[in-house]
Chains A and B, each alone.
Chain A
C-alpha cells in the first residue's frame, strides 16, 4: 500500500490573481511513497517546498489541483481524514509545536486518544520504551532537555502506530552522538518494524549513509527522485539544487582525480570507501 500524489499543484496564495497567473509554490507530477521499508531523504534549499510537500501527504494542506491517493483510494472532500493522519505521522521541526500536556505520558497518548485507538496509554508507554524514555513518563515535558523533548515529540507520533513516519529536520542542533543515536533508532524502526521513514534534511552524510531514496526539490519542483547515492553522480544536479557533497565523497573524488584511480567514489561509509581504495591501490601495485 502507498501514498501517491499526482499532477498536484499547490499555492499558499489562494487569491484569484494568483490562480490566474499560474504561479505555484509546489508542483508534483507524480510521487509515490510505499508504506513499508522506504527510507527517503527530502533535500533542497530553504523555501524549496520540502515541508509543504510532506504536509500534502496527509492532507494538512489541500492542493488546488491534482489528487492524493492513499491505499489506492482517492482522497476527496468526503474522505475521513483521521485514518490518513494516522497512517502518515508527521514530526515537526521543533517539539514545541506539539507538546502541551503537563506530563509526558499524557502528551504521548494524546495522538492515540484522538485517533480513538484502544488502550492509548499502553501504546504510549510502548512507544516511549522503544525510544528509551519510559522513565520520563511522569515528568513535565517542559522541564526536559532539548534532546529529550525531541524524543517525546517523536514518541507522540509513534504511539499512534503510523505506517509512514515523516520527520522535519530532526537532527538540527543535535551533537554528533545524539544525531547518530536518533538516526540509528530510525534505522531500527525501518528495518525491524518496517515503518517507512521520510526525512527532511540538509545533511548530505545522512542522505548517503541512512537513506536509500532521495527526493531533490528546487523552487517547488522535484528535480530528482531516485537512489540516494546515485544522486551525487550528477554533478550538474548537485550544483543546480545548491546541494553539497558528503565529505567522504568529496575526498574520494579528489583522490580519484589526483591518482587517476579506477575507483567508485560514491560510497556511503568509511569502510566501504576504504575497501574500494584498497582494491585499487593494491591492484595498481601488482601491475
Chain B
C-alpha cells in the first residue's frame, strides 16, 4: 500500500489562487521521489502540506492509510505528523540548538523521549551522518553542509519514515552537496524520501521524478523519460541540462550506439 496518498489536494494563499490546484499522487514505502518545477510552481507548498505545516483548502492526504486532518489538537494527527521530517533550504534558519548535540536532541525532547535514550540516539545518528566529532560545536562554526547533515540526523533520530528535502542542498558548496547526497543515497530504500531539487545529480538518484507547473503535476515517470522529453521540460519552464543535450546530439547523429549507451549510463547511473 502507498505510504503517502494525496487526493485532489487544493491550496490557496491569501494572494495566490491555486498555489496547489488539484494534485493527486501516490508514493510507495521506501520510494525515492524527486519533485522538480520552476520557482513558484508549488513544490514547496506541497511539501509543507504533506508535513501538516499548512492546512489544505480541500482534498485529502493519507499517511499509511490514515487521513491527516486539519485539527491541531488531535493526538492521532500528531502521531501521523511525527512520521514525516523535513529539511529546509536555509541551513542556518532551521538550526534550533545552541550546539549540534542540542539540535539533534530538540525533536526528541519534544517527543518526550527519555534522557538516556536521547543520548543513545544522538550518538548513533550523529555517527551515521558523520557529525559525531562535532557534538559540542556551535552552528556559527559549521559549514552549510554540516548543518544540513545535523538537520538530517535530527530527523532520523526521531524514527521518522518519510523524509522531505525542500531544496536542502541549494545553498551548499560542492563539498557540502556531496556530503549531504552521500548521506541521502545511503538512506535510499530504507526510508521514503521526497526530494525537491533543481539539481540533475539529485534527480538521477530518484526512482521517480514528478514535474510540477502552476500548482499542478504535469508529468511523472522515471528520470530518463522526463529529462529526454524536451517538450515537457520547456512547458514546465525548465532548461535541458548540457549532458542531456550531448546525449541527444549523439543519438541524432547516430555516430556510435556504443558511446550513446555509455553516455546514457554515465548520466543516469544505470
Residue B175 CB within 8 A of the other chain: yes
Q: Which of A244, A254, A259, A278 contacts B253 (CB 8 A)?
A: A278
User: Interface stretch among A59-67, A70-78, A167-175?
Assistant: A167-175
User: Interface stretch among A84-92, A152-160, A189-197, A267-275?
Assistant: A267-275
A205:B242 contact, CB within 8 angstroms: yes
In whole angstroms, how far apart are the Cα atoms of A147 and B249 in the complex? 32
In whole angstroms, how far apart are the Cα atoms of A178 and B38 in the complex? 8
In whole angstroms, how far apart are the Cα atoms of A250 and B241 in the complex? 14
Q: What is the number of residues of chain A that contact chain B, defined by CB distance less than 8 Å?
A: 42
Please indicate the chain A residues that have their CB under 8 angstroms from the CB of B241 in the complex.
176, 247
B89:A255 contact, CB within 8 angstroms: no
Q: How far is the CB of B101 from chain A (nearest CB, A)?
A: 21
Q: Which of B175, B238, B262 contacts A176 (CB 8 A)?
A: B238
Q: What is the number of residues of chain B that contact chain A, defined by CB distance less than 8 Å?
A: 41
A247:B173 contact, CB within 8 angstroms: no
Residue B135 CB within 8 A of the other chain: no
User: Interface stretch among B22-30, B111-119, B164-172?
Assistant: B164-172
A259:B174 contact, CB within 8 angstroms: no
B246:A270 contact, CB within 8 angstroms: yes
Residue A248 CB within 8 A of the other chain: yes
In whole angstroms, how far apart are the Cα atoms of A248 and B244 in the complex? 9
Mask of B228-247 contacts with A, CB within 8 angstroms, 1/0: 00000000011101110110
A175:B198 contact, CB within 8 angstroms: yes
The 10 closest A-B pairs by CB, nearest first: A270-B245, A176-B239, A242-B175, A244-B174, A46-B143, A175-B38, A274-B249, A270-B246, A270-B242, A248-B242
Measured CB to CB, the residues of A under 8 A from B are 44-47, 143, 145-147, 172-180, 202, 204-205, 209, 242-244, 246-248, 250-251, 254-255, 258-259, 269-271, 273-274, 277-278, 281-282
